Amino acid sequence: MIKRMSTNCEDDTCSSCVVAGDYIFLAHHSGGNDRNDIVYQMEATFNDLRETLESVGATLENMVQINLYLKNIEDFRKARDVFYKYFENGFPARMTTTTDFVTSTCLCMMDGIAYRKQG
């Protein structure tokens, strides 16, 4: 069974996540774009991811992969260090890259895959 959750970004062509069996595919998430602070935006983004996961009965601990998109590679160390606050039992696989964003004040975005055994 495939379940598509409503958007998290005011774009009705993009579900916030899609649940396909035991897997949850998360679309891009970001937050805190009102402040030019990578730590603040990373924390807001993780909180958005957590909220989406909770809406389908999962947690950040269910994450098996995260793609981290940064506007500035110089923010990598600070962004990476935020992961320690959100993962206590090991980290998901991660890919990090840099890119420009549609929203000019956005410093980071994340998407990924979570695994949650049904039943």
Average the pLDDT over 14-32 and give the result.
90
3-state SS assignment for residue 84: helix
pLDDT band at 18 (very low <50, low <70, confident <90, very high): confident
Q: Average pLDDT in the 9-21 region?
A: 76
Tokens in use for 42? 């990373």
- The C-alpha atoms of residue 73 and residue 77 are separated, in whole angstroms, by 9
pLDDT score recorded for residue 44 = 97
What's 49's domain CATH number? 3.30.1330.40
pLDDT at position 27 is 92
Cα–Cα dist 45/37, whole Å: 12
Domain count of the chain?
1
Domain range spanning residue 40?
2-115
* pTM more than 0.85: yes
